[in-house]
Amino acid sequence: MRRTFFSFHYAPDVWRAWNVRNSWVVQNEKNSEGFFDGSVFEASQKESDDVLKAFLRKGLENTSVTCVLAGASTWSRRWVRYEIARSVVKGNGLLTVNIDGVKNDKGMSSIKGANPLAQMALYRTTSGIFLAEWKEGKWVKYADYTLAIPEKDLWFDAPRTTNIVQLSTHCMSYDFVEQNGRTNIGSWIETAAGLAGR
């Protein structure tokens, strides 16, 4: 079973996320693919940034894939971006699963948001390879992880120039409702793991 970290925007999407995260239970008896839940929920907002970052890094330990469950505004969330950044550094496979069509506890779906993996990118400078994020209408250096990423730690081709290369270029994206995620999410996760050599 694949240990997978689920990244999502807590307040509007927790009900949808629970449905997606638990869908493997339904298929587990007939299908060996699936995942163990290695994710964490949002920590207390009373914590400092450093404590919260450590909490999220701990949640990523022992996982090999990060599945970003994308709702309407997941792409803009600071801590989702941090989870994505640390997943890149760790070498996890990455994928996006759109969950806007999954109904919440009130029976309502949401609107489709941007792909969070298209809002983060890598670029090369003379000092190394760095993360960038789309913020306020432009690409800027990612502020919550500013160290260079060793090229050997990337499972995909590293950028060759200063041009931005979005993470979505290397990662698959799916729609949970339109592509029958209840049946297929296990194989999507296995594909992400395979692409990353995990």
The domain ranges of the chain are 2-114+171-195
- CA 99 to centroid of chain Cα atoms: 13
Task: Give bridge partners of residue 138 from the DSSP assignment.
Answer: 135
Quick check: 120 and 81 in contact, CB under 8 A?
A: yes
Of 63, 16, 69, which is closest to residue 35 (Cα–Cα)? 63
Q: Does domain 2-114+171-195 have CATH number 3.30.70.20?
A: no
Quick check: 95 and 78 in contact, CB under 8 A?
A: no
In this prediction, residue 22 carries a pLDDT of: 81
Query: What parts of the chain have a pLDDT lower than 70?
Result: 1, 24-46
Q: How much is the pTM?
A: 0.92
**CA–CA distance, 165 with 152 (Å, rounded to integer):** 17
In this prediction, residue 31 carries a pLDDT of: 43
Neighbour-count burial for 155-180, b at 16+ CB within 10 Å, e otherwise: eeebbeeeeebbbbebbebbbbeeee
Angle at 66 between CA 43 and CA 176, to 5 degrees: 100
In this prediction, residue 32 carries a pLDDT of: 41
* pLDDT, tens only, 175-191: 999 999 999 999 999 99
